[in-house]
Structure 1
Amino acid sequence: MPVPDPAHHVRDWLATYDTPTTSVAHLLCDRHDPHTVATTEIGPTLTATTLTYGELAHRSRALATGLADLGITTGDRVATLLPKGTDLTVTALAVWRLGAVLVPLLSSFAPSAINERLTNSRARLVVCDDEYRTKLDPTPHTTPTWDIATTGTHPLRPGDHTLTTLTQHTTTPTVTDTPIGGHGTLAILYVSANVGPPRGVPVPARALTAMHAYHHYGLGVRDDDVYWNTADPGSAYGLYHGLISPLLAGHGSLALRAGFFDPELTLDVLGLYGVTNLAADPTTYRTLRAATKTLPPEVMVQRLTSAGEPLAPDVIDWVADVFGVPVRDHYGQTELGWCIGVPNGDTPAPATPLVPGAIGPALPGWNIQVLEAVSDDPAPLGTYGRIAIDLANSPLAWFEGYLDNEAASQVRFTPDHAHYLTGDTGIQDRDGQIFFSTRDDGAIRTHGYRIGPTEVEAVLNDHPAVEECGVYSIPDEIAGQLIGARIVPAPGHTATPRLADDLKEWVRTRFATHAAPQVVDFVDELPRTASGKMRRSRLR
């Protein structure tokens, strides 16, 4: 049987998702068989709660009615501080029914980081799990302008709402879905920057085309698959392909409601629920390798995908040996979706096999070029340059700029806007395969999270015992990278192990658990250039 033409599929999806009348809730829920399971939430004890598309439609309409009663309307920003599972799925659909904008937040963030993103996004409402409610308490430095709704049955603070009360309507919910069109914003996600505060990425509804294409071709999810994406819904991979793309395709997906990654629990879920298609970050595979010698016989995964950072060759070899199938290493960004790698889906067989060291060619719907280092001309094949997206020949590209940040937006494009600049460097061979070299932006990737060094430095510099500091990455076999900090103590403060522990906790409680330095060293001065600029390459 001939393989469908990917270009034809992309054109069909664009024609469906990029229209003046695009309704996100219709595309993700209402057009599907109401009896099909939309999502299965798995608790820490491995008990399951399922939600069909029909139940999702009813519950999201009821919540949308409650949100409308609070004044939420088209274009309003509604943030979520929720774990993976049914509450998040229902809330997201309710927000999109109203034509509002979802702002998913990482639960590992400290109150200050959450407040920064809520303020920048101009959120009207935060829907949070009871466990995270204290992170939204006012501080002397914050003046909340948003309402709060929790997942509990009783308000935890005066003035709080609950999802239970918001969905209690004596009549059938009658909210009319609001189309936002292909260029309307469905979500805002935040990415860490090497310099400056996090940047908001508005995601338009037409980006659904890129998500569906990657779900079908990159991940290769089929109608009979048991699909599980382990990424946090506050991240792009977790939102785009843990929540949105399975719903868009009418597929079911698993959502494990648990804390930090547990390799034994992961293996239990793979076996007990018969997962056939797994998408995860490299830390998941590295941790499984460290804790697993052989797989339980009930684990029968058929397609594996990794995203977030390049997988080391030894991890790739281990996965192939233990799982019996290859792991496909894919590249993408919050601003793009996923655009490079060997597909897991039904594309024609590649003309040439994957070359060792390469991540793969462009995925369907994308055209990748490597540009010269000092000009915007294509670099000769086999030479290093800047990895870029050829926008005229990449119908899945959708990013237009950061939220209220023109300066940061401009550096993402060549002056003629013909190319989007990824910030990565590498080589492209004659077969179109990409070999990565380095990242230009200096971000640290740890345990699947992306951290800007200056964000951690800003928090550390607020500590009275810190005169100045420099943050750097430390290679790690499991985490990929860990965070290290060089500290110049302020006058009157002594470098001690206790101060080092205090500084780690300072970052943990004021920024994010995953951003706390693993190593804190004290120095008399930081390495600097003749002009006084810190030399990050020397911090190690």
Structure 2
Amino acid sequence: MNDPAHGDPAREDPARQVADWLEVYGASDASAANLLCDRHDPDSVAFTLVEPDLTSAAFTYGDLADESRRMATVLAASGVAAGDRVPVLLGKRRALIVALVALWRIGAVHVPLFTAFATGAIALRVEGSGARVVVTDASQREKVDPIDAVTVLDVDDLVAESQTAEPSTDDAVVGGDGVFVQLYTSGTTGKPKGVPVPLRALASFQAYQHFSLDVAADDVFWNAADPGWAYGLYYALITPLATGRTSLLLNAGFTPQSTVSVLNEFGVTNFAGAPTIYRSLRAHADMTGVRLRRASSAGEPLTPDIVDFGRAHLGCEVRDHYGQTEIGMVIGNHWNADVAMPLKPGSMGQAMPGYTAGIVDGQIALDVKASPALWFTGYDAAPEKTAERFTGDGAWYLTADTGKSDDEGYFSFTARDDDVILAAGYRIGPFDVESVLVTHASVAEVAVVGRPDPEGIRGEVVEAFVVLNTGFVGDDALASELQALVRDEYSKHAYPRTVHFMDALPKTPSGKVQRFVLRRQ
């Protein structure tokens, strides 16, 4: 059998590759610690750990194996057992990786927490998962201490105790259906819901890295997303561990110029991030010296201007990919030559190998039987919410994102189903209007929502919330200019009746626009 971490260069059948990965990651005797660490060459570098001053250190699989075995001993002595949900609130540092692999050695389930969370968001996830133990450090501890009935473990204490601990020799076998992560949805459209991630999901994750991101053995790969959220956890941390590919991990927050510095200093050739990163780079960074082989985007629809920005300033176009916390990435403008297709403006691409997509009741949907890589079976302890994700006969997974497809299998995103604007009998997708507005030189970011028509005639009217580039003033004249742009470039029925100028758009910690907040204003 082929090594699923590296694939077979001679094999050109994507469906066969996915089947091979499913066989290994879905095995009944699968161990997370083995698949994500131990089976790799101990001398190979797992992560290049980059500090804010751009100093760096190589973290090998051998080091990770030894340190995680010792920490597993300490965690077990602290009461952590197989099946326990253990929230981890840490920055992008070495101890984060060690703690996660240590938890997986025990058979515990990692519950990711984003370091920008306040106590309320942390408590929701801690209490929702039934956790008894939380792992954090001194910089985050004050957020966790107010939460009742949990034991707080300081990771630096765990590291210190691990220095003299005996390495654990018992790695839990959880099997392909065993849960190793429980992530929570972002809360863009409601209360976050727990998403159990089984070990067999690694087959889907690897398919994305291979076919969509096209991470090659000689690439310098950097996914800048934070591992407190799905895209960063799945594809900046877990998938590189599964595949044995070296990845950068920057222990710092995002700034445009620091991002350029990392790209140039480490010679990054394959980069992934959210559209907001690319927009910020375009608006605020000197891109001199940046040359990428691959650039990918996920999290929100990618407007065509960013594709062009990539061609002009990154050395390659930026390719849009689509997915969700519940299913990982499933549709994309894939980079790998075996499946790559020409870009179509406004399209997020085609279904990834291992998935068959369609449009059901106006929603982007996945054919369950024809999507062997689909791993989501339901939310944690939320059967009613789970039922909303599937058709009544269970044949289709429903994303709740409206969209459309063409005869060549290209899919286009329209809106979250509850973001669709109903105006005078028309269904208006915010993304279509935003794609026009963002082409104006003054616009840095924009979000469009529907508001009740004050005249009670049209049902809803379109309103735009605009963040301006430096040097522009938000006045009536500019508002009129933006309205005319939509009327002239898109459609008279979809132009924003009101344009609001803002310093920043309300977003979740993962960078998604909270349209429900805008609708309340």
TM-score, normalised on structure 1?
0.77
Q: Could you say which residue in structure 1 is the equivalent of 2:374? A: 397
Q: Are 2:283 and 1:275 aligned?
A: no
In structure 2, the residue matched to 1:70 is 78
1:467 maps to which residue? none
1:257 is displaced (CA, Å) by 0.6
Identify the match of residue 37 of structure 1 among 45, 49, 62: 45
- The answer on whether the counterparts of 1:78 and 1:103 sit within 8 Å (CA) in structure 2 is yes
Counterpart pick for 1:102 among 107, 110, 124: 110
1:442 deviates by 4.2
Judged with a 3 Å threshold, the aligned counterparts in structure 2 of structure 1 residues 515 and 278 are, in CA distance, closer, same or farther, namely: closer
User: Which residue does the alignment assign to 2:411?
Assistant: 434
Contact between 1:81 and 1:105, CA under 8 Å: does it hold in 2? yes
Instruction: Report the Cα distance in structure 1 between the residues aligned to 2:53 and 2:392, rounded to whole angstroms.
Output: 54
| Partner in structure 2 of residue 186 of structure 1 | 180
State the match for 1:381 in structure 2: none
State yes or no: 1:163 paired with 2:158: yes
Contact map agreement 1:359 1:435 (CA 8 A) in 2: yes
2:144 maps to 1:149? no
Q: How much has 1:56 moved relative to structure 2?
A: 0.3
Alignment-mate amino acid for residue 392 of structure 2: P
Task: State the number of aligned residues.
Answer: 440
Deviations along 1:73-119, one digit per CA (max 9) or x if unpaired, are 11011111111131111111000001110001011111111111101
- The answer on whether the counterparts of 1:98 and 1:177 sit within 8 Å (CA) in structure 2 is yes
Matches within 5 A, 1:457-472: none
Check 1:537–1:25 CA distance in 2 against 1; reply closer, same or farther (3 A cut): closer
Letter in structure 1 aligned against 2:335: N
Cα separation, 1, equivalents of 2:85 and 2:75: 12
SS in 2 for 1:123: coil
Between the aligned partners of 1:282 and 1:149, the Cα distance in structure 2 is 35
* Equivalences for residues 12-27 of structure 1 within 5 A: 12-27=20-35
SS at match of 1:393: coil
2:305 pairs with 1:314 = yes
Paired with 1:537 and 1:166, the residues of 2 have a C-alpha distance of 48
CA distance in 1, matches of 2:468, 2:85: 39
For residues 349-498 of structure 1, the aligned pairs below 5 Å read: 349-350=340-341, 353-371=342-360, 373=361, 385-442=362-419, 474-476=465-467
| 1:416-471 Cα deviation digits (max 9, x unpaired) | 110000011111100000122111144999xxxxxxx9xxxxxxxxxxxxxxxxxx
Deviation at 1:327? Answer: 1.1
> d(CA) in 1 for partners of 2:257 and 2:400?
36
Letter paired with 1:187:
V
Once the two structures are TM-superposed, the CA of residue 25 in structure 1 deviates from its matched residue by: 0.8
2: CA distance, partners of 1:414 / 1:513: 29
Q: Equivalents in 2 of 1:473, 1:137: separation in Å? A: 40
Q: Which residue of 2 aligns with 1:459?
A: none
Confirm or deny that 1:325 pairs with 2:333: no
**Cα pair 2:227 2:233 within 8 Å, conserved:** yes
User: Residue 61 of structure 1 is aligned with which of 57, 66, 69?
Assistant: 69
Separation in 2 of the partners of 1:2 and 1:91? 37
Letter in 1 for 2:370: N
Tell me how far 1:292 sits from its aligned partner.
3.0
Contiguous gaps of at least 5 residues in structure 1:
153-161, 374-384, 446-452, 454-471, 479-503, 519-534
- Aligned match of 1:288: 281
Letter in 1 for 2:397: Y
- Distance, in Å, in 2 between the alignment partners of 1:284 and 1:124 is 36
AA of the residue aligned to 2:154: T
Q: 1:169 is matched by which residue type in structure 2?
A: T
Sort the Cα spacing of 1:106 and 1:8 in 2 relative to 1 into closer, same or farther, 3 A.
same
Quote the residue 2:294 is aligned against: 303
Report what 1:82 is aligned to: 90
Higher alpha-carbon deviation: 59-68 or 188-197: 188-197
Unaligned runs of 5+ in 2: 1-8, 421-429, 432-448, 450-462, 470-502
Residue 222 of structure 2, aligned match among 221, 225, 228 = 228
In the TM superposition, residue 12 of structure 1 has moved relative to its aligned partner by 0.4
Tell me if structure 2 keeps the 8 A contact 1:109–1:513: no
CA RMSD of aligned residues (A): 2.8
- Check if 1:122 corresponds to 2:117: no
Structure 1 pair 426–195 and aligned structure 2 pair: CA distance change class (3 A): closer
CA distance in 2, matches of 1:227, 1:85: 17
**Partner of 1:182: helix, strand, or coil?**
coil
Query: Are the counterparts in 2 of residues 110 and 512 from structure 1 also a CA contact under 8 Å?
Result: no
Q: Supply the distance in 2 between the matched residues of 1:6 and 1:516 (Cα, whole angstroms).
A: 34
Report % sequence identity.
Answer: 45
SS at match of 1:39: strand
**In the aligned structure 2, how far is the partner of 1:109 from the partner of 1:516?**
16
* Alpha-carbon distance in structure 1 between the residues aligned to 2:288 and 2:20: 41
Deviation, 1:539, is 4.8
Distance 1:516 1:425 in 2: 17
Residues 538 and 178 of structure 1: CA distance in aligned 2, closer, same or farther (over 3 Å): closer
Instruction: Give 1:405's aligned amino acid.
Output: A
Residues 194, 442 of structure 1: 8 Å contact kept: no
Distance 1:130 1:40 in 2: 24
Query: Which residue of structure 2 lines up, in the alignment, with residue 463 of structure 1?
Result: none
* C-alpha deviation, 1:216, in angstroms: 0.8
SS in 2 for 1:392: coil
Asked whether the equivalents of residues 333 and 340 of structure 2 are also in contact (C-alpha less than 8 Å), the reply is no
How far did 1:193 drift?
Answer: 4.0
* Equivalent-residue separation in structure 1 for 2:339 and 2:185 (angstroms): 34
